[in-house]
Structure 1
Amino acid sequence: MTTIKDPSLAIDDSGRAISFFDFPEDVQLCILSFLTPSEVASFACTSKGFVSLCKSDCKLWFNMCDRRWGSKTQIRKWGNGKITYRNFYLTLSDWENLIGFWRQGGVAISLPSGCG
């Protein structure tokens, strides 16, 4: 009889399940970058160790911004470090449909004097 293993479980060479704690931090951050902010908040509640990982602005929240909008805009240039990547993520989530809008508007023209 053949047994079917659950593909969602990570199994090491000895056949033991691998905990999320066992993955390197960069792998954890990559996985977490696919979550929504509410899912990140829920995940942070699962362990004290994950709270600091989920609060990491320049690690997790930058990765989340870069994954979602990195191909559309230059994430590092926004806000000149004056806005957290978490707030940046939440702001871009609200205004996502306007990213790149100004690039599609064409060339600006001068108005004749007396107009505008």
Structure 2
Amino acid sequence: MVYAAAFAVAAGFLFEPADVDRFHAIWEAALLIFGLHLILVGVAIIRATALPTLVGVLVLISGAGYAIDAVSMAISPSAPLTLGEVLFVGEVVLAIWLLGWAGRSRSADTARVQTLSPQR
């Protein structure tokens, strides 16, 4: 939500009179927030037992890439790193896992619990 709000604020600077420099500054700050969020999500996934650890590691690496990109842009705007262009793979893997496999394990557990529960 914070990332979306920051993007909305940044997009407001693209209307007349456009202030592209301010847009980029806010956008980079938003990417830092997003990267820190992904790092926390990656750590949570790694600590969770229901999710594959590899997914958590990839999300953690993606978050670190976004955070490093944002910091490098603040330090050296003329030659920033572009790790986010490569490290977004963790987000894609998480999305695919959530769409394809996340509901399966829960429904299998629910079916097993319903089978074991006494009938009324």
TM > 0.5 between the two?
Answer: no
- TM superposition score category, shorter chain reference: 0.3 to 0.5
Higher relative contact order (CA 8 A, sep 6+): 2
Question: Normalising by the residue count of structure 1, what TM-score does the alignment of the two structures yield?
Answer: 0.33
